[in-house]
Amino acid sequence: MYAFKITGGRPLNGTVPIKGAKNAILPLMAAALLTDEPVILHNISYLSDVITMSGLLASLGASVTHTPDTLVIQANQITTTTAAYEYVSKMRASFWVLGPLLARFGETRVSLPGGCAIGARPVDLYIKALETMGANITIENGYVHARGPLHAADVFFPKISVGATHNTIMAAVLTPGTTIIHNPALEPEVIDLITLLQKMGADIRGIGTKTLTITGVSKLHGAIHTVVPDRIETATFAVAAAVTKGNIMMTGARLDLLEAVADTLRPSGIILTQTDQGLRVDATHAVLKSIPITTAEYPGFPTDAQSLLTTLLSLADGKALVTEHIFENRFMHVPELVRMGARIQAAGNQSVLITGVPELSGAIVTASDLRGGVGLVLAALAARGESIVQRIYHIDRGYDHLEDKLIALGANIERIPY
């Protein structure tokens, strides 16, 4: 296994490229199963989750080829519609092949998912939506066995789910008649999926609203698409600038996708400037201020950025309550931050109270999920002395060689075996 060895305390300055969002690339790859023509995705970064999804699609018979920036997927020779445990257990987003396989082939078996251990993460909303559309679904030997044919329906989500929205949209685009999805997720990655599907010939109306109207077509075609930039990677480097008092230009990044996070940075005197090239975050004169955070569905504060801000608030002036509304177990990084000197107490089931301290000190810590792990890396970059962040395979799921980008910004970080 590998760890990051980090000596903190250096301001991070320079330019870093922000590539396509992990949380968009994965559903876009699943959408390629809806056509026998090639789907070409640009602005790709080769995270381990993208490699896992490529393996899953290849195991179904799709051809997946890539150049440094581009993925080409062609699903013209699907040999099986069973998505094996081997893939789905590694990454929850693999479950999103359920909708496209069912819609195009009429039957599929998809292993129940694994992924980051940040909560129970049920799939009832996915299943209910497909059942409303006529699917016959049984759970057998750890697999969801879904059989069509599907029909158009009114699908109402009692709770907003990004994954269930992706999955239902992908099922509806090839289902005859007009399906209406009430209360879909509005995350930029959902909009990106809809944009690709429209390029493939799908009839989807109401994009960006609380009601999507989808009229099924008999066939979709290939398309070329540039993936929306990763707003969570953007938030990561913004917080890296903030906690080290640095100045980072993120090429390709978009401030409009990050407003809820930006609102928590500006009171600290951090200047965010959108240019044609990307987003600049200047924290050279920042004085970190405490500000309460509650995670919520988009456009609210993203749950994926909660651990990043937990680190920032650990170093801010004052006290702040952080409340996690999306997942029930998303404070696993907190005990490790406390070992680095942070003052954080539980405040009920879903909240922590953070009292800022002037500095953190280096320690050996362990990542237990993707974003929590990155929160620990940010803490180590700011801390006095040396830290070792263990189990960075969690971090590799969502960041493409994070250490290379940080080194280019002046960080003292090294990937070491242990």
| Positions in the binding site for ligand UD1 (CB under 6 A) | 23, 119-126, 159-164, 185, 187, 297, 302-304, 326-327
CA torsion sign for 294, 298, 299, 301 is positive
Nearer to ligand UD1, 23 or 264 (CB): 23
How do the residues of the chain divide into helix, strand and coil, expressed in percent and rounded to 5? 35, 25, 40
Distances (CA, A) of 245 to 112, 239, 283, 381: 43, 9, 5, 11
Nearer to ligand UD1, 125 or 413 (CB): 125
Nearer to ligand UD1, 116 or 288 (CB): 116
Question: Shortest gap between Cβ of 56 and ligand UD1 (angstroms)?
Answer: 17
DSSP assignment of 8-68 equals --PPPEEEEE--B-HHHHHHHHHHGGG-SS-EEEES----HHHHHHHHHHHHTT-EEEE-S
Nearer to ligand UD1, 130 or 315 (CB): 130
Q: In the numeric block, which tokens belong to residue 388? A: 């070792």
Question: Shortest gap between Cβ of 164 and ligand UD1 (angstroms)?
Answer: 5
Question: Shortest gap between Cβ of 314 and ligand UD1 (angstroms)?
Answer: 21
Contact 53, 91 (CB under 8 A): yes
**Annotated catalytic residue, options 44, 116, 360, 370:** 116
Question: Shortest gap between Cβ of 331 and ligand UD1 (angstroms)?
Answer: 14
Contact 26, 87 (CB under 8 A): no
Distances (CA, A) of 19 to 117, 140, 189, 224, 298: 25, 39, 13, 16, 20
Per DSSP, the three-state class of 372 is helix
> At CA 295, angle to CA 381 and CA 11, rounded to 5?
15
Question: Shortest gap between Cβ of 158 and ligand UD1 (angstroms)?
Answer: 9
Among 296, 371, 291, CA closest to 331: 371
Q: In the numeric block, which tokens belong to residue 214? A: 């989808």
Question: Shortest gap between Cβ of 317 and ligand UD1 (angstroms)?
Answer: 29
DSSP assignment of 237-269 equals HHHHHHHHT-EEEEET--GGG-HHHHHHHGGGT
Nearer to ligand UD1, 115 or 216 (CB): 115
Nearer to ligand UD1, 150 or 160 (CB): 160
Question: Shortest gap between Cβ of 78 and ligand UD1 (angstroms)?
Answer: 24
Question: Shortest gap between Cβ of 115 and ligand UD1 (angstroms)?
Answer: 8
Distances (CA, A) of 140 to 79, 87, 101, 109, 368: 21, 17, 18, 9, 30
The CA distance from 15 to 247, in Å, is 9
Q: In what order do the strands lie in the sheet with 70-74?
A: 63-66, 70-74, 39-42, 223-226
Nearer to ligand UD1, 325 or 415 (CB): 325
Q: In the numeric block, which tokens belong to residue 258? A: 């990050």
Q: In the numeric block, which tokens belong to residue 256? A: 């409009």
Nearer to ligand UD1, 129 or 413 (CB): 129
Q: Is 201 known to be catalytic?
A: no
Check residue 96 and report its DSSP letter. Answer: G
Contact 250, 279 (CB under 8 A): yes
Residues identified as active-site: 116
